[in-house]
């Protein structure tokens, strides 16, 4: 089933809305988008450095990265990653999925909550803390405030602070030079949401004990398989074409659903990847996610019988899970003795099969991305699978999949309200808040 790849795409539950024949008919359009991407003639071509995962980091930079990781792991107990969006989501997705002790890496700069920062500081009290600050500019408000408030946790040691920022300019680059922080460059040809396999993501991932060589190898092997521009022989391209076809048919929400809690933050990364890449010019699928079977007892009702505006993509782990067998009970009060001797992974897989069939019968097309097993190699391949599909799918939609102009709108309003120097004042006739209170 898996052939050479650790990833397999199941498509029978897309029928009759999407079939191989329908996808094949779009093959020409897909090949044009693929060619534009690879030849650097697409919109946003300056941000396609992620296309070759094994060349993102130069060999000397990789050596320096490994040395920094070894030093930090030896000298500290916890790594505090400060960043927002693509500056942390990819790393967290991998760490939460694969690390034996994911709590060795914690996060700040992801929100503006005073309670969150207070609790985090309390949690880190008495710990040997390393800090990784990730910001291309050094002025993004959420991580910049967090860094200002929390950098003392490094104990006044510049050796415990690493900055990932622009290679030459910006506030963080200036501060790092002044304070003597070790720095790694944010690649200029890779946007934040595509940067998980750069130093921005690999340092915290390796600190957490995940094999970054296997992660990059999986991505590189997937990149090689994705050079086939025929969607019937390239699952990532098939996925890109299929989701666009469903969008044209009126399915405006894609629900990424997994039956494995370790993949929760992978779905969060996926939402940013597709949300920022496709959601512009008043078009694009809305990316949402669900954790099954938990959400089958809440969102599941809507998915089964609500408005027919969504389709699902399931993430399923095919093997390699721990062996946990269900025991028998003398009185069988719970009526579960019929499952005696069964593996939990079998029950979980059966729940997926039942859900996929029920939702298809309920009018929800769905496809499934199966991973041979959840390890660094497979997850690296899955990261590239989605990056490539996102880029090609965006080009097929006619948008630039590498910019995010809409993100700036809230920042502009916030800076005006906060009175940031140099920001235009808000018009006097701007509408006032209106409330209904109890």
DSSP-based three-state secondary structure for 380: helix
Integer-rounded Cα Rg, in Å, for the chain is 23
Please give the Cα distance from 56 to 46 (Å, whole number). Answer: 14
Reduce the DSSP state of residue 6 to 3 states and report it.
coil
> What six digits make up the tokens of 383?
């990261």
The continuous run of DSSP H or E covering 327 comes out as: none
353 tagged catalytic: no
Active site residue 434: no
User: 4, 125, 248, 297: which is the annotated catalytic residue?
Assistant: 297
| Rounded Cα–Cα distance for residues 164 and 195 (Å) | 11
How many Cβ atoms sit within 10 Å of the Cβ of residue 325? Answer: 11
User: Which SS3 state, helix, strand or coil, does residue 81 take?
Assistant: strand
Based on the residue annotation, tell me whether 29 is a catalytic residue of this protein: no
Q: Which of 96, 182, 260, 276 is catalytic?
A: 276
List strands edge to edge, sheet with 253-258.
Answer: 7-10, 366-371, 310-317, 253-258, 286-291
* The residue to which tokens 């946007």 are assigned: 191
Please pick, among 15, 233, 411, 420, the residue that the annotation labels catalytic.
411
Distance CA 317, CA 266 (A): 13
Question: Residue 65 phi/psi, 5° resolution?
Answer: -65, -45
Residues of the chain by 3-state class (helix, strand, coil), percent to 5: 50, 15, 35
Give burial (CB, 10 Å; 0-12/13-18/19+) of 426. Answer: exposed
- Enumerate the active-site residues: 276, 297, 411
């Amino acid at each position: 089933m898996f052939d050479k790849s650790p990833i397999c795409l199941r498509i029978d539950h897309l029928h009759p809305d999407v079939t191989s024949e329908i996808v094949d008919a779009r093959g020409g359009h897909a090949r044009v988008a693929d060619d534009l991407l690879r030849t650097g003639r697409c919109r946003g071509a300056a941000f396609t450095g992620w296309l070759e995962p094994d060349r993102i980091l130069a060999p000397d930079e990789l050596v320096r990265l490994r040395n920094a990781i070894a030093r930090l792991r030896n000298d500290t107990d916890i790594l505090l990653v400060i960043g927002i969006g693509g500056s942390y989501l990819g790393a967290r997705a991998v760490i939460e999925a694969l690390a034996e002790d994911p709590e060795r890496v914690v996060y700040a700069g992801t929100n503006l909550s005073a309670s969150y920062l207070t609790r985090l500081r309390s949690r880190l009290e008495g710990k040997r803390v390393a800090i990784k600050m990730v910001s291309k500019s050094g002025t993004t408000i959420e991580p910049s405030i967090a860094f200002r408030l929390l950098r003392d946790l490094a104990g006044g040691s510049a050796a415990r602070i690493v900055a990932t920022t622009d290679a030459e300019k910006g506030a963080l680059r200036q501060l790092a030079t002044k304070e003597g922080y070790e720095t790694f460059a944010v690649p200029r040809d890779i946007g934040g949401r595509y940067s998980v396999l750069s130093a921005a993501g690999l340092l915290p991932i390796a600190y957490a004990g995940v094999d970054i060589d296997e992660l990059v190898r999986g991505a590189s092997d997937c990149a090689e398989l994705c050079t086939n521009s025929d969607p019937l022989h390239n699952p990532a391209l098939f996925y890109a074409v299929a989701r666009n076809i469903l969008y044209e048919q009126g399915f405006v929400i894609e629900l990424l659903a997994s039956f494995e809690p370790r993949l929760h933050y992978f779905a969060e990364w996926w939402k940013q990847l597709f949300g920022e890449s496709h959601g512009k010019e008043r078009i694009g699928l809305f990316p949402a996610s669900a954790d099954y079977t938990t959400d089958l007892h809440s969102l599941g009702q809507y998915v089964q019988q609500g408005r027919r505006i969504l389709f699902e993509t399931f993430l399923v782990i095919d093997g390699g899970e721990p062996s946990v067998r269900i025991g028998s009970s003398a009185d069988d009060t719970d009526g579960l003795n019929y499952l005696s001797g069964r593996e939990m992974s079998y029950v979980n897989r059966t729940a997926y099969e039942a859900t996929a069939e029920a939702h298809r019968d309920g009018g929800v097309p769905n496809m499934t991305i199966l991973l041979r097993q959840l390890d660094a190699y497979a997850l690296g391949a899955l990261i590239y699978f989605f990056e490539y599909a996102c880029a090609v799918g965006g080009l097929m939609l006619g948008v630039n999949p590498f910019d995010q102009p809409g993100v700036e709108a809230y920042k502009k309003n916030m800076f005006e309200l906060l009175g940031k120097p140099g920001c235009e004042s808000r018009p006097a006739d701007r509408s006032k808040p209106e409330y209904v209170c109890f």
